[in-house]
Amino acid sequence: MSRHTTFRYCLDPTVEQSVVLARHAGAARFAFNQSLDFVKDALAKRKISRKHPVPWTRFDLINTFNTWKKSEDAGRVFAVDADGVTEILVTGLAWRTQVCQQVFEEAAVDCGRALAAFSDSRTGKRAGKRIRFPRFKKKINTVPAFRIRNKHAKAGWTAIRIGDDQIARSVTLPGIGAVRVREDTRRLRRMLANGRAKILYATVTFRARRWWISLTTEASDLHPAHHHRPREHNDDGGWVGIDRGLTVFAVAATADGAEVARVATAPKPLATELAEQRRLAKSLSRKQKGSHNRRQAAARLGRHHHRVANIRRHFTHQIANSLVKTHDRIVVEDLNVVGMLGNHRLARAISDAGWSDFARLLTYKQAWCGGTVTIANRWYPSSKRCSACGTINPDSSLANRVFLCKCGFRADRDHNAAINLAKWPTIEQDFSRSPDPRAGGRVNNVRRRAGADRHLAGAGETIPIDAETDVCATFVA
């Protein structure tokens, strides 16, 4: 068994290496735009001839770009001697040898993924919001980034190496060389030396005026000492419910009512640094567009946002690690965070809490340790249900921080919700349906037929009848 994990470091390149990294990021953006241009040109020609091929998949885009970059369509470099004789020196992209060729291929792969996501969204294979057709990447609003695969030679050496040339805090990249990093790489170097990890690819990005590298690795499972003890098949206990909130970040309790954890002091970095963020945003708005001072102000605001995100991420990692290490069975609620953000009074606080990211961390960390994370139904009334008698109190509101029941049970609202979540695996069958409060039945997500909200076509216009088969009909007056 293996798992995929990422090691992220902050690079410390020299001035020359920074120029090379920026050149690779620009090459990736250029290859993506060129691949997308191939698709648009092919789609335009396909309107004239239905048999014209369209390079849609990642492999077709890679082959098309590799053929184009060596052809005369990509450009030519001429040299003229003293006698006026012209000679062709380079055919194709003149600067293609200055960057690693994998950057072009990975950019074409990204374009193929974007096209696949667009087509899957149109045909219904992809859930969620409909994705529009990919657009060209602009230099001013695109994060500079590129990706390089790690090739393994038969001799044993790899293209991406850690701690090469007796420099422990360094990463060696093909075409760039050894670049120093700021953090300690001892953990990754030990895993690579013991054969417990293998680097798949490296992604280099430029954020907050710094270069960052993310090394995606295929690592072996955690040591058996860090795994939870396996339970018996007939053992249905040991569940711990975790209720997330704003006043109290998280409350964990068992089904018998014992509170095992309470995290009340969340850092709330956005609310804490909001005054500084407003000051930097106002300073940016006063700068003239296109000026050097505006770029510096935008960089300061970007560093501030990056720091706020890092504080929140560090806190959620700490809480998730502590819960996963002490409990092997966890129940969390499926919160409609996107819908909650529609409340303009709580949207900022909900975004600052990071509920979705916290649930995501719990899920994959618990899987690494051999535990289980169960998602309670979104319609399960954990906050309105009495954990003692099971009676549902529909009049309970967010203002009531103490839960009171007719049976005499009295408890903290978050503590009562955590107990009900811990009981979810035993009463799951009672809440398997998703009730619609207005219709009294189940919620059905029905997609509207294509063209249902459009005007009636005029005489001679073509309207779509079936979006799946692309059958059209002509309206005749």
Residue-wise pLDDT for 261-290, tens only, equals: 999 888 999 999 999 999 999 999 999 998
Residue 85: per-residue pLDDT: 73
124-141 pLDDT per residue, tens: 888 888 899 999 999 888
Instruction: List all residues 6 or more positions away from 306 whose beta carbon is below 8 Å from its beta carbon.
Output: 207, 208
pLDDT of residue 392: 85
Q: Where are the domains of the chain?
A: 20-123, 237-431
Contact 124, 447 (CB under 8 A): yes
**Whole-structure pTM value:** 0.79
31 touches 107 (CB < 8 A): yes
92: phi then psi, degrees, rounded to nearest 5: 110, -160
Spatial distance between the Cα atoms of 202 and 22, rounded to a whole number of angstroms = 15
Q: What is the pLDDT of residue 121?
A: 92
Query: Is the distance from CB of 258 to CB of 252 less than 8 angstroms?
Result: no
- Phi and psi torsions of 284, nearest 5°: -70, -40
Structure confidence at residue 431 (pLDDT): 56
φ/ψ of residue 4, rounded to 5: -105, 125
Q: What is the pLDDT of residue 162?
A: 92
As a whole number of angstroms, the distance between CA 199 and CA 402 comes to 51
Q: Is the sign of the CA dihedral 257, 259, 263, 264 positive or negative?
A: positive
Decide if 69 contacts 96 (C-beta within 8 A).
yes
pLDDT at residue 297, rounded to an integer: 94
Distances (CA, A) of 267 to 246, 280, 324: 11, 21, 20
Identify whether the C-beta of residue 305 lies closer than 8 Å to the C-beta of residue 351: no
Split the chain (477 residues) into runs of 10 and give each run's mean pLDDT.
87 94 95 94 89 90 91 79 73 87 94 94 88 92 92 81 88 92 92 90 93 93 86 84 91 90 90 95 94 92 94 94 92 90 90 92 91 89 86 77 83 89 80 49 47 41 38 36
Q: Is the CB of residue 202 less than 8 Å from the CB of residue 34?
A: no
Looking at residue 216, its pLDDT comes to: 94
Largest CA distance in the chain: 105
Count of CB atoms situated within 10 Å of the CB of 108: 28
DSSP-assigned beta bridge partners for residue 149: 201
The number of angstroms, rounded, from the C-alpha of 72 to the middle of its chain's C-alpha atoms is 39
| Residue 132, both tokens | 């529009």
At residue 476, the pLDDT reads 36
**Spatial contact of 369 and 228, defined as CB atoms under 8 Å apart:** yes
The identity of residue 117, as a single letter, is A
Distance from C-alpha of 160 to C-alpha of 200, rounded to nearest angstrom: 9
pLDDT at 74: 80
Q: Alpha-carbon torsion 171, 175, 176, 177, what sign?
A: positive
pLDDT at position 475: 34
Task: Provide the 3-class DSSP secondary structure of residue 17.
Answer: helix
